[in-house]
Amino acid sequence: MRALFQWRDWNKSRFPELELLFHIVNEGKRGYKAQADFRQQGGRSGLPDVCLPVRRGRYGALYIEMKRRRGGKISAAQTWWLNKLELAGNFCEICYGHEEAESVIVRYLGGEYE
């Protein structure tokens, strides 16, 4: 994740919209109390990792679920969120590694998915 956001910082002059790219902090193992606090504060399991709230063509925003290049698997909750976000008019993608995410972002901003 760190590499993706370093790339964002290096490319903001090329793509000013990258200023809006953010990480949805939602992962991690939690104890019982921390899990309860997370839910009470609106936390939801399965949310995508990255959001770029910029409209392109028919899409209202870009959501990316980041996975490791090897062994990354999509959970049922993640599939549910990606499907619901797509139905709501967003472009969603699963990316294996930061290079793939960077490529998707550039193509999205360039209007290739319209």
What pLDDT shows up at residue 27? Answer: 64
Domains of the chain listed by start with CATH number: 2-109 (3.40.1350.10)
Three-class secondary structure of residue 7 per DSSP: helix
Mean pLDDT, rounded, of the chain: 93
**CA pair distance 37, 21, nearest whole angstrom:** 26
Single-letter residue type at 71: G
**CA pair distance 74, 43, nearest whole angstrom:** 18
pTM, rounded to two decimals: 0.91
What pLDDT shows up at residue 55? Answer: 98
* Residue 44 pLDDT > 70: yes
Mean pLDDT of 94-109: 98
**CA pair distance 57, 98, nearest whole angstrom:** 24
* Residue 71 pLDDT > 90: no
Q: How many percent of the chain have pLDDT more than 90?
A: 77
When pLDDT is cut at 50, 70 and 90, the band that residue 28 belongs to is low
* φ, ψ for residue 30, nearest 5 deg: -130, 150
Q: Is the CB of residue 51 less than 8 Å from the CB of residue 5?
A: no
* Residue 99 pLDDT > 70: yes
